[in-house]
């Protein structure tokens, strides 16, 4: 169903992919956009490993407004991709890059119910606004009351990660 990585020698393990998803701050969501054009958008997210999520290879969660391009894309087709670049160091003299990245494929769904929305939004708040619990929790309550909070969960069906050759050399040393 999913393609094998062409450069298998540069593939990282599933465990390494999970570690990258846990520490990354920004990812790029890809959805089926208008008129069949792919639509990608960077966003903040939370990764939940499979042992906590209880499904797939874990889940990726984010929150957003209740309307917009990405929401329309998810409604059109639940299948999405999500990419994270963990390292991106240009080596101009060598004409290459030290990089490590992960791409996940999964199915997105809109979370429902006040308690589920609250938990999802506050989990994201805890990742990005530690020490400001009162602020992000108040914002969560406000958006729930106004009906403007949308939380999305992606169940990961498949993921691969890749490391650049220069970074592979560095790891071996």
Q: Give me the helices (H) in the chain, please.
A: 14-23, 50-53, 69-76, 114-128, 133-146, 165-172
**DSSP 3-state of 77:** coil
Instruction: List, for residues 141-154, the tens digit of each pLDDT value.
Output: 999 999 999 999 99
How is the chain split into domains, by residue range? Answer: 8-112+149-166
CB 45 within 8 A of CB 62: yes
Instruction: Find out whether 44 and 26 touch, Cβ atoms under 8 Å.
Output: yes
Cα(151)–Cα(71) distance, rounded to whole angstroms? 10
**Homologous superfamily of the 8-112+149-166 domain (CATH):** Electron Transport, Fmn-binding Protein; Chain A (2.30.110.10)
Residues 6 or more apart in contact with residue 45 via CB below 8 angstroms: 24, 26, 27, 60, 61, 62, 82, 124
Contact call for residues 159 and 102 (beta carbons, < 8 A): yes
Residue 153 contacts residue 29 (beta carbons within 8 Å): no
pLDDT in tens, 47-102: 999 999 998 899 999 999 899 999 999 999 999 999 999 988 888 888 888 889 99
Across residues 29-36, what is the average pLDDT?
A: 95
160 C-beta neighbours (distance < 10 Å), count: 18
The pTM of the whole model exceeds 0.85: yes
């Amino acid at each position: 169903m999913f393609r094998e990585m062409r450069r298998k020698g540069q593939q990282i393990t599933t465990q390494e992919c999970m570690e990258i998803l846990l520490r990354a701050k920004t990812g790029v969501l890809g959805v089926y956009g208008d008129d069949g054009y792919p639509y990608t958008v960077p966003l903040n997210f939370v990764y939940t490993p499979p042992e906590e999520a209880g499904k797939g290879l874990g889940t990726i969660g984010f929150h957003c407004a209740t309307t917009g391009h990405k929401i329309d894309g998810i409604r059109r087709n639940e299948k999405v991709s999500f990419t994270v670049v963990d390292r991106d160091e240009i080596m101009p003299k060598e004409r290459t890059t030290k990089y490590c990245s992960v791409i996940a494929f999964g199915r997105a769904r809109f979370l429902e119910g006040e308690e589920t929305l609250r938990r999802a939004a506050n989990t994201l708040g805890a990742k990005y606004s530690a020490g400001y619990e009162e602020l992000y929790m108040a914002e969560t309550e406000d958006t729930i009351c106004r009906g403007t909070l949308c939380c999305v969960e992606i169940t990961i069906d498949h993921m691969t990660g890749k490391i650049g050759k220069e970074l592979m050399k560095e790891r071996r040393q």
